[in-house]
Structure formats: structure tokens, C-alpha cells
Amino acid sequence: MDTPMYTEAGPAPEAPPGDGVRRAGDPEAATATSRRDRVYALLREEVLSGRIAPRVRLGEVRLAELFGVSRTPVREALARLHSDGLVERRENGFYATVPNLAELRDLYELRVTLELRGISRAMEDPSVRHDPGVLRAELERWEKLRADVPEPDPSFVLLDEEFHAAVSRASGNRALTDSLVSVNRRIRRVRMYDFLTADRIASTVTEHIRITEHLLAGELDSAYRAMHEHVGASMEVVLERARRALTQMALHSDAL
């Protein structure tokens, strides 16, 4: 999508008049919900794909014209994306999020801690067991992906996040999982540039399978080491990965 499409321009029609109340079973309510979800999904894809440069303001009026809707679903979509950590609010509006390196260092460190804690708590307490049903479902899903490896794509980051959330959830600490999901959302805009090569996709699939197999076998020490290696054995590795991602983001944005 070309950058000029994301500038403010002329008025767009607002929502039709009415009492503003959407009642259960009301077809109009269902349509409004569908419209909101569609705009959110489309705009999220534009941000995740990197087609919206960080320097471009996400103007409600222009986006409403682009998607053929009123400003209301656009405003709601931007609010949801802000909650997801994919856009940030600046003085004059919303922009695609670009964390700085200092923020990334802290967030990546927190991510590693949360990932490993989901396993270490089971190592410390024999009564803690990872849910085998959740793990088997993940193993089956990733074995299918190994048999038919996806093409490199920034949106692969969403599949990766789902895996890590599921493994954390299997450990039985909901607060831990909620924290991990929140952190991953905040670094998603950068992490998506980690999945632009076929070898990276293939290695991620293999590592996910290995971690899951260790957990199902009750091999917690091996699972811990495999997870540690997977998410970054040292802060130097993590930071170098972040630097590369930021460089890719800058280069990609310049091309828009």
C-alpha cells in the first residue's frame, strides 16, 4: 500500500443517526460488529506486514475513505491496535509502533524470564504438571507445519506467539501467561522481521517441536535448556537480533 494513502484528507461520512443503542439480535448490530472486525483485521495486517511506515500518521478520515466506512470503526480499530501494542499515540495522532533499543532490551529480558519461569516452576514443584492436552495439540500443529513449512512471512510471528502462549498456559499460571502475551504484543512490531527467511521459519518449527516433546516426556531440564536457547541464550544474542530487526524495519520503511 502506498504511503500517500495514509494522510488526512477531506471529510468522510459519520455513522448514520440513531439512538446509538445496539440490541441483541439486531441485524444492524451484527453488521456494525462485522464492520469493526473487518477494519481492525485489515488495518492490523497493514501494520504487521510493514506496509505502513512508522513515519506515516494513521489519519481516521483517510482510513475511513480507504475502507469505505465511517470514522467510528476506524477509531475503534486504532484503539484496539493501540492496546495490542502495534500502534502508538503521539501528539498529532496514531503511528505504527517502533520501540527503541533500550526498551527492547528490557522487554526481551522480561520475555526470556517469563518463558523460562513457566518451566522452572514445574522443576521446583513436583506437583506442577504441564497440561498434556495443550502440549499434544501444539505438537500436532507444529508437526503439520514441519511437513508443509510455511513461506517466510512477517505474520508468522503470530503463530510463534500462539505457541509460546500455549506452552505457558500449559504450565498452569494464568498471570504468567497474561504477562507473556502482553510483552510479546509490545515487541511484535520488531519480532516480525525475524521471520523473513526460510531457514529461520524451519528452525523455529523444529525448535518448537523439540521443546514440546521434552515437556511431554517430563524432561524438564532439557526443555528448559531448549527454551533458553530458543528465546535467546544471552542478552548479546537478543540485542543483536533486535538490532537486525530494527535495521530491517528502517530499510523496509524507506522503501515505502
- Give the model's pLDDT for residue 180: 97
Q: 37-55: per-residue pLDDT in tens?
A: 999 999 988 876 667 777 7
Answer yes or no: are the C-beta atoms of 147 and 71 closer than 8 Å.
no
| Helix (H/G/I), strand (E/B), else coil: 93 | strand
Phi and psi (nearest 5°) for 147? -75, -25
Least-confidence region, from 13-27, 41-55, 162-176: 13-27
Q: What is the overall mean pLDDT for the chain?
A: 82
Question: Are 119 and 156 a contacting pair, CB within 8 Å?
Answer: no
Task: Determine contact, residues 84/76, Cβ cutoff 8 Å.
Answer: no
Tens of pLDDT, residues 171-221:
999 999 999 999 998 888 778 778 888 999 999 999 999 999 999 999 999
pLDDT above 70 coverage of the chain, percent: 78
**37 grid coordinates:** 472486525
Which residues have C-beta within 8 Å of that of residue 236, sequence separation ≥ 6?
Answer: none
Q: How confident is the model at residue 120 (pLDDT cuts 50, 70, 90)?
A: very high
Cα(236)–Cα(248) distance, integer angstroms = 18
In this structure, what C-alpha cell is assigned to residue 155?
Answer: 505474520
Q: Binning pLDDT at 50, 70 and 90, where does residue 245 land? A: low
